[in-house]
Amino acid sequence: MMDRYKTPRTKELEFGGPLGAMILIFLMPATIFYLLLTCRTEQASVLNFPPPLPPLSTLWSPHTFLLLLAWVGLQAALYMLPMGKVTEGIVLRDKSRLQYRINAFHAMGVTALVVGAGLAAGLRLSYIYDHFLQLAFSALLLAFGLSFLLYFKSLFAPETTLAPGGNSGNPIYDFFMGHELNPRIGSFDLKYFCELRPGLLGWALVNMAMLMKETELRGSPSLAMLLVNAFQLLYVVDALWNEEAILTTMDIVHDGFGFMLVFGDLAWVPFTYSLQAYFLVNHPQKLSLSMAVGILLLNGLGYCIFRSANSQKNTFRRNPNDPRVTGLKTIPTATGRRLLVSGWWGFVRHPNYLGDIIMALAWSLPCGLTHVLPYFYVFYFTVLLIHREARDEHQCLRKYGLAWQEYCRRVPYRIFPYLY
């Protein structure tokens, strides 16, 4: 009976299969250290050979590792507190639905109070800047450790709970993509927890630490640093406020919880997404008021597109009869669900990605035009979203067939109007 709910073997492998997965397992940590080490040099030039990696005895610090564990532990404790509502995820293979607690925004509020109290008591956040490499190394160890434990746990998981994208039978590939879809310890959902809390809040905290360090060095924070902090904080707050929306993302619905997401959430996001702020500490930039206003408007434009496109789709998916979306044109599909073909989703096929990429540019522009390094996020993110868009199209074509082809005919551009 349960056999028909078994997750089928993953046939179409992504990221270049096991070899690609193996390369990424080494490349992702190497990239973090390359970026951080280069950023610490005076020239911060991508053309120079990167400085050598400090010896392991310098990178490993039990103190920073314990601090990292304390941070993740605080977030885990806040996640478990019975505050906020409980909601249901999408219907799973075995027709069940998991329950999720929606309290990330509350967790952020409590975290802000804890950090605020710490600052009032003399806490030096610039410790994070001073021990940035050690913290990144600790996050790397934590991510590898957790990924191995998750893979081991998945070997004993029922076949109905495996991830459709990480069940190839190849251990390296499944370790990377995630073998189990929603690994839980009791009601504690590890993927859902990691996706938003320790990493995203950690990113905001790291940015604030960079601002504190700059203030210690130069007496006051620069306009460029303030803009980077404000823009990225808005993005983090937005994600936490709209927490429920991640329950329908590819990461939660399709991808397992393996090295890609564990490392992405715990190490990649806090240590590479904060690169602009890290760069500004040692490479101060003069920003005229008119430039700042221009960048502010660009970020506002990106954010409006990102937020209204995501909200339009989420509202439509939750209730197609909601008055905010009833005026929009749709295409019926064989699954009974409809596809939007007007409004933002009639402009390009991934308007939310367009808004996100515009914001990415606005986050790097305060770092000036003299260095390529702080633009890393723009390049990486454009590649990530183009690849993600291709993965999503593939899944939508499988799900909706002819209706998806009709959608592509009526909305020919994927992300950038008239370009791509």
Ligand X SMILES: NC(=O)C1=CN([C@@H]2O[C@H](COP(=O)(O)OP(=O)(O)OC[C@H]3O[C@@H](n4cnc5c(N)ncnc54)[C@H](OP(=O)(O)O)[C@@H]3O)[C@@H](O)[C@H]2O)C=CC1
Ligand Y SMILES: CC(C)CCC[C@@H](C)[C@H]1CC=C2C3=C(CC[C@@]21C)[C@@]1(C)CC[C@H](O)C(C)(C)[C@@H]1CC3
Q: Which does 254 bind (CB under 5 to 8 A by kind): ligand X, ligand Y, none?
A: none
Please tell me whether residue 195 binds ligand X under the rule CB under 6 A: no
Report the chain's C-alpha Rg in angstroms: 22
Please tell me whether residue 101 binds ligand X under the rule CB under 6 A: no
Q: Which does 340 bind (CB under 5 to 8 A by kind): ligand X, ligand Y, none?
A: ligand X
Instruction: Please choose, from the candidates 238, 233, 243, the residue with its C-alpha nearest in 3D space to the C-alpha of residue 203.
Output: 233
Supply the minimum distance, in Å, between the C-beta of residue 300 and ligand Y: 16
Smaller CB separation from ligand Y, 93 or 388? 388
Smaller CB separation from ligand X, 79 or 345? 345
Stretch that binds ligand X, among 46-54, 208-216, 285-293, 351-359 (CB under 6 A): 351-359
Tell me the backbone φ, ψ of residue 188, rounded to 5 degrees: -85, 110
Supply the minimum distance, in Å, between the C-beta of residue 324 and ligand Y: 20
Q: Are 192 and 86 a contacting pair, CB within 8 Å?
A: no
According to CB under 6 A, which one of 173, 192, 259, 345 is a site residue for ligand X?
A: 345
The residues pairing with 180 across neighbouring beta strands, listed in sequence order, are 162
Instruction: Please choose, from the candidates 70, 65, 77, 129, the residue with its C-alpha nearest in 3D space to the C-alpha of residue 103.
Output: 77
Please tell me whether residue 71 binds ligand Y under the rule CB under 6 A: no
Stretch that binds ligand Y, among 96-104, 148-156, 176-184, 194-202 (CB under 6 A): 194-202
Q: Are 180 and 155 a contacting pair, CB within 8 Å?
A: no
Residue 208 CB neighbour total at 10 angstroms: 18
At position 199, the amino acid (one-letter code) is G
Which pair of structure tokens corresponds to residue 365? Answer: 């522009």
Please tell me whether residue 195 binds ligand Y under the rule CB under 6 A: yes
Instruction: Please choose, from the candidates 197, 195, 214, the residue with its C-alpha nearest in 3D space to the C-alpha of residue 276.
Output: 214
Stretch that binds ligand Y, among 56-64, 171-179, 265-273, 364-372 (CB under 6 A): 265-273
Q: Which does 195 bind (CB under 5 to 8 A by kind): ligand X, ligand Y, none?
A: ligand Y
Smaller CB separation from ligand Y, 193 or 268? 268
Smaller CB separation from ligand Y, 180 or 251? 251
Tell me the backbone φ, ψ of residue 280, rounded to 5 degrees: -65, -25
At position 64, the amino acid (one-letter code) is T
According to CB under 6 A, which one of 137, 193, 231, 268 is a site residue for ligand Y?
A: 268
Q: Which does 21 bind (CB under 5 to 8 A by kind): ligand X, ligand Y, none?
A: none
Tell me the backbone φ, ψ of residue 45, rounded to 5 degrees: -105, 135
Please tell me whether residue 14 binds ligand X under the rule CB under 6 A: no
The pairing of strands 85-88 and 99-102 is antiparallel
Beta strands in 180-239, from DSSP E residues, in sequence order: 184-185, 188-189
**Residue 306 DSSP SS3:** helix
At position 196, the amino acid (one-letter code) is L
The pairing of strands 330-332 and 338-340 is antiparallel
The residues pairing with 162 across neighbouring beta strands, listed in sequence order, are 180
Please tell me whether residue 250 binds ligand X under the rule CB under 6 A: yes
Please tell me whether residue 275 binds ligand Y under the rule CB under 6 A: no
Q: Which does 352 bind (CB under 5 to 8 A by kind): ligand X, ligand Y, none?
A: ligand X
Cα distance between the two ends of the chain: 46
Supply the minimum distance, in Å, between the C-beta of residue 161 and ligand Y: 21
What residues line the site for ligand X (CB under 6 A)?
Answer: 249-250, 306, 310, 313, 316-317, 337, 339-340, 345, 350, 352-353, 356, 388, 392, 395-396
What residues line the site for ligand Y (CB under 6 A)?
Answer: 24, 28, 195-196, 200, 239, 246, 249, 251, 260, 264-265, 268-269
